[in-house]
């Protein structure tokens, strides 16, 4: 969800056994009501909100950051040592912030609460996203 171009709620799921339409519905409701970064969306503000839905491709593990194409690929980072950490950034995040590959890698580490260079030893995955958004 977005309000005046600013994030208002975001929840996603990488895998599901439900049909796509059910998963989209449950994630939209969760983004409006259970994103801990924001208060729940109210009925009064619904007319001010727009929704954007990203359907992700199957993540592919990469061997080198050189495989990351800014604007095309989103990133997932996973590290299990000393405890499990995971982060995901959509492809449009790097474009929106005008990041280069190095900045994108730093940001995915930060999202997973890892040190900025953790990507060197963590598992990295790329994916693409099909984005559906309301016209404003």
Show me where the domains of the chain are located: 2-50, 60-128
pLDDT band at 135 (very low <50, low <70, confident <90, very high): confident
Q: Is the pLDDT of residue 40 over 70?
A: yes
Provide the whole-model pTM. 0.84
**What is the CATH T-level fold of the domain 60-128, as seen in this structure?**
Dna Ligase; domain 1 (3.30.1490)
Model confidence over 72-105: pLDDT tens digits? 999 999 998 778 899 999 999 999 999 999 999 9
Q: Please count the residues of the chain.
A: 136
Task: Find out whether the peptide bond into 69 is cis, omega within 30 degrees of 0.
Answer: no
23's CB contacts (< 8 A; 6+ apart) are 13, 16
Q: Are 89 and 124 in contact (CB under 8 A)?
A: no
Percent of the chain with pLDDT over 90: 76
Query: Which residues, 6 or more positions from 71, have their beta carbon under 8 angstroms from its beta carbon?
Result: 91, 92, 94, 95
Compute the average pLDDT of residues 56-63: 96
112: helix, strand or coil: coil
């Amino acid at each position: 969800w977005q309000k005046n171009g600013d994030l208002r709620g975001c929840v996603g799921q990488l895998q599901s056994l439900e049909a796509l339409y059910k998963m989209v519905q449950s994630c939209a409701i969760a983004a409006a009501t259970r994103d801990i970064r924001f208060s729940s969306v109210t009925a009064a503000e619904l007319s001010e909100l727009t929704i954007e839905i990203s359907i992700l491709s199957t993540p592919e593990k990469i061997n080198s950051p050189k495989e990351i194409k800014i604007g095309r690929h989103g990133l997932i980072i996973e590290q299990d040592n000393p405890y499990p950490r995971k982060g995901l950034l959509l492809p449009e995040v790097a474009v929106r912030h005008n990041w280069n590959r190095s900045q994108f890698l730093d940001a995915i580490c930060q999202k997973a609460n890892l040190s900025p260079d953790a990507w060197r030893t963590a598992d990295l995955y790329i994916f693409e996203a099909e984005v559906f958004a309301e016209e404003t």
